[in-house]
Each structure stands twice: as C-alpha cells, then as structure tokens.
Amino acid sequence: MNKSSVVILCPREFKFTDHEASVESPFLTDVAKVQTVWLDYNEPFPTQVLDTDALILWHGPLIDAAILSQMKHCKAIIRNGVGFDSVDTSAAAAAGIPVCNVPDYGTEEVADHAIALMLALYRQLFPLDAEAKTLGWKINVAGKMRRLRHQTLGIVGLGRIGTATALRAKAFGMRVVFYDPYVPVGTHKAIGIERLNSLDELLRASDTVSIHCPSSSETRGMIGARELALLRPGSFLVNTARGDIVQKASVFSALRSGHLAGAGLDVVENEPLRTPEEAASPNLICTCHAAFCSPEGMVEMRSTSAKIARAAVTGQRVWNRVN
C-alpha cells in the first residue's frame, strides 16, 4: 500500500535548511513520505505540493483559491506558527480542507519579548549602551528613565500571548488593562486585571500599549494616526503580533514629533524596514520578527505540526482548526 505524502513548504528566503526534516520525520515516516520543498514567493507550485495529502506551511507563499482548487488530495494545511493569514481560509473551507495552526508554541517567547521591549524602552537600555560604548558615563537619558510600578500597560488582544504578557507585567507591579471583545465575561477577574470596553478607552488609559491580536480584516491598520493621538504624550507602543495591525508611517511620524516616546516593534507593516529614513526614526527598537525564536519553541512548533499532519493522513480528527 502506498504511503501518503506530507510536504513541508518553505520560502527560500526563510533559509530553512533541515533537509532531513529531522523533527517532523519521527512522527510521520511510518505513515507518509515526507518532502521539503523550497519555493520563491511568486513561483508556481510544483506537482508534489499540489498533490500532497497534507501540507505543512512555513511563512508564505500565499495559498489562494486558485491553488486550493488544484489540491484534490489535501486533507489538511498546517501553518507552522500562530498566524494563518497566508492561507485563504474561507476558500479552503469551501474546498473541504481544514486549515490548522500552532497557536501556543511561542507563547512564552513572544510574551518575554514584549516585556523585554517594554523594559528596554522604560529603562533606556540602548541609549545607555551606546553612551557607554562611546566612553561616556554621564547618563544623558536619566530624565527619560521610568519606574515600572504603577505604570499602566494596555493589552490589545487577550489570547494566550496577551495573557502571558499581562501576568508578567503584573509581577512588575504594573496596572494592566486590556481590550478584547471576544474573550469570555469574567476573564479579567480570573487573572486580576482590568477590562476596558473599547480600544479608544484603552489608548487613553495606557502609558504603554502592547499589541497581541491576530491580523484580520478587522484589525489591519487598526492603529493609525487617530489612535496614536489618543495616547498620552510620551507613551510607548510595543508590537509583537503582526506588522499590518499598526500603520508604520503613523508610528514613525509620532516618534519624530515626540508624541510617542518610543516604540518596540518586532514586526512592521510591509516588513522589513524599507528606507534609511524609516530606520532612523528616533527612539525606535526593531527586532526582525524574531520574538517567537528559540530552539525549544521551534522543536515544539514543528512537532505539533507533524502530529496534526499525521492525524490528517491517517483519518484522525485534526485540532487547532481555524476554518
């Protein structure tokens, strides 16, 4: 009896080099032939991808309705990560193809990273480092350094990562508020933070805003010039979610005007940074969409994707389905 096929699809730009699929193979080799395919973003999908029984997808390329219509044998598409905006989930559902993600693999890493960005802004770590390395020792940014206790952190999106970030901020003695219309009533009581009823209310209340919602038609461009103007002068913005949630031109303008005292962006709209002018925005920390990174997180993510693929090709129920 022929084995099923599982393809791991990766853009060449991602530089994924595990040709043997050493993490995935132990979960799959007894039931499926495992192949890794590297593809440019605009390159046509080869036959082995279109004919596969399960597809594990790294960042991009985009899988749209036209491609899905050719995937006659596919029993599941598994996004190796949290975000699934590179797949037309509605078209996949119409084609009877479950789309799954791995929503919890990087919870600790991304929450840690959001807090690290916030700490770097509050404690002015990078200006101090630059001063020390020019053999200065005057602490020129002393007036910009702040005590965290009693500062208000506003969290937009209280999913797994937002909740983990909230609990870390509480440990610093911060007041934590959140806005998320989709979490159950009483969530704020369970973890001891405050729920606000609108994004505008959260923006007005916060000293720092940290973004933790998915990219969707509802959230793309959600933070722009109007929203940033609602923040208190001298506030901070942190984004470890998706770049297109925050309009980068508005952020860079607010940094240049001084209305924002700083921004910690792991992700940016139309990433990476595109011009020297963007990179020169004052009080900007940018970290290359790396918040999810750790060896432990990568193994957890890839193992989970492989387990879901195994369930799909053996006729079992898949989990983490998003469509």
231: Cα separation from own chain's centroid: 23
Q: Which residues are catalytic?
A: 242, 271, 289
In angstroms, how far apart are the furthest CA atoms of the chain? Answer: 74
Tokens of 68: 């899905």
Question: What are the beta bridge partners of residue 156?
Answer: 179, 211
Give the per-residue SS3 of 48-69.
HHHCCCEEEECCCCCECHHHHC
Of 266, 229, 222, 278, nearest in space to 246 by CA: 222
Q: Is 258 exposed, middle or buried (0-12, 13-18, 19+ CB in 10 A)?
A: exposed
In angstroms, the Cα distances linking 31 to 57, 305, 308 are 19, 15, 13
Q: CA-CA distance, 71 to 90, in Å (whole number)?
A: 15
Of 200, 242, 202, 201, nearest in space to 220 by CA: 242
The answer to whether 263 touches 288, Cβ cutoff 8 Å, is no
Within a 10 A sphere around the Cβ of 135, how many other Cβ atoms?
6
